[in-house]
Structure 1
Amino acid sequence: MEHPKKIITSSIVIVIFVLLVTLSSWYVWSEIYFGNVCSCTIPLPMLIPVLASIGLLTGTLFYYIMSPKNGTKKINRAILLKMLDKKEAAIVDALLDNRGEITQSAVGSLTGLSKVNVFRTAERLARKGMIEKEQHGKTNMLRLSGEIMDAFC
């Protein structure tokens, strides 16, 4: 919810709470003033818990409205791939297809890039912080970085 909408909605909740308390107080005052006070007419022992419950509900609503939402938006795959050059996009696409982890030699066979192109492009992506390279025997294991993986999963 946008900031002005939060303020307006919160103000409405507070105004309704103040109105309910004012009307309840006015009702009790008028019954006492005109001498119509009877334990059967105004359940005074119940008035305080009711007003406290309304206050608690108002506070909870206010907190819910004003608290930031923790939902994270997922990144559209096509948008990310458009920001990369052709070779980088091919490697990231192969990583996304394989749940964020693939060997460097498998990237070459999946994308059709030469070993040198895969190596240099993977180095460039690692410098950008998009992937992590880890020695895995005679080949490297390529993994999407945590932030990139979180954005897609």
Structure 2
Amino acid sequence: MARAKTGSRQPTEAVLAATPRQHEVLRIIRDHQNITRAEIGALLQASASQVSRLTAPLIARRVVTVEHRLPHAEGRPTELLSLAGDTHYVVGIDVGGLAQEAVVTNLRGDVVGAAHRTGSPARSRSSIIDGLVDLVDRAIGKSEIPREQVLG
């Protein structure tokens, strides 16, 4: 069985956010699902321009999406930020004594593919790894998303 390529891929954190402050922004967006820049600013105790500078690269990399809302009063329409649901994906693995499972989720946590295997894992370390690589490959295959969109 082929092993997963590690090559020159960046860690998932580096792809999603370049700075610790951007990680905070992503955590806030994840926790609130839909949130305005003003609300993020209040939570971070940051100015509107700071929040815009933090979110602009996340939007450009398609990690965060923008939804326009109609204004409740005169003025500029409010924009809601949320994690992208169809641009980047991650894999989770549960390795148990009697079963193993791999799931592929989008950044919102929605499962888009899964594979399950029952029985004890193999005895040798390399056999265990090969089995898990196969399980992940099957989960990604069932998700029908391009492999290059899987961050880790």
TM-score normalised by the shorter chain: which range applies?
0.3 to 0.5
Q: Which has the higher strand share?
A: 2
Please, what TM-score do these two structures have when normalized by structure 1? Answer: 0.42
Please, what TM-score do these two structures have when normalized by structure 2? Answer: 0.42
Q: Which has the higher helix share?
A: 1
